[in-house]
Amino acid sequence: MYTQDISPSESFLGFQRMLVDGIGDLMDLQALPTPVPIVAKVLNSSDILIKVLNPHGKPAFSHRRWGFDLVTGRALLRWIPIGKTADPAQYISDFSFDVCDAMLSRDIVGENFTFRVL
């Protein structure tokens, strides 16, 4: 579940309300759902850290990469979960492609995604 709340510390870290192509209603089963407002920080041209609510209603942060894995190829361009954190400041400060790629169990190639700040 997505939340619209942004704390002062999240705002300081660069989180913003935005629409991101390919990230829609969690119940929307379309390949490219209509975007819904989310709170997120763009990490680079293919990675994003999204504020979500865990099953207990507490904030958590989901790192996703827009791209494809080398097994399925470009035909299956999608948002791929990379990791989760409860501490976005530490995650953002540690973020690099070396660290990110080491977390992956398969080769994932990032592609540029589009977003609009609200």
Which pLDDT does position 92 carry in this prediction?
83
Give the CA distances from residue 22 to residues 28, 51, 58, 68, 86, in Å, rounded to whole numbers and listed in that order: 11, 16, 24, 13, 24
Does residue 34 carry a pLDDT above 90? no
Give the CA distances from residue 6 to residues 14, 22, 111, in Å, rounded to whole numbers and listed in that order: 10, 22, 27
Q: Look up the domain containing 34 and give its range.
A: 8-113
Q: What is the pLDDT of residues 75-100, one digit of tens each?
A: 778 888 888 888 898 888 877 655 55
Does residue 13 carry a pLDDT above 90? yes
32 against 117, higher pLDDT: 117
Contact (Cβ atoms closer than 8 angstroms) between residue 76 and residue 66: no
Determine what percent of the chain is predicted with pLDDT higher than 90: 35
Domain membership flag for residue 118: no
The number of distinct structural domains making up the chain is 1
Domain membership flag for residue 64: yes
Domain membership flag for residue 94: yes
When pLDDT is cut at 50, 70 and 90, the band that residue 112 belongs to is very high
Domain membership flag for residue 1: no
Domain membership flag for residue 3: no
Mean local confidence (pLDDT), 63-86: 83
Domain membership flag for residue 18: yes
Query: Which residues on adjacent β-strands are paired with residue 40?
Result: 16, 50
CA distance 36 to 23: 7
When pLDDT is cut at 50, 70 and 90, the band that residue 7 belongs to is very high
Domain membership flag for residue 93: yes
pTM for this entry: 0.83
Hey, what amino acid is at 21?
A: D
Number of Cβ within 10 Å of residue 42's Cβ equals 17
Q: What is the pLDDT of residues 38-49, one digit of tens each?
A: 999 999 898 999
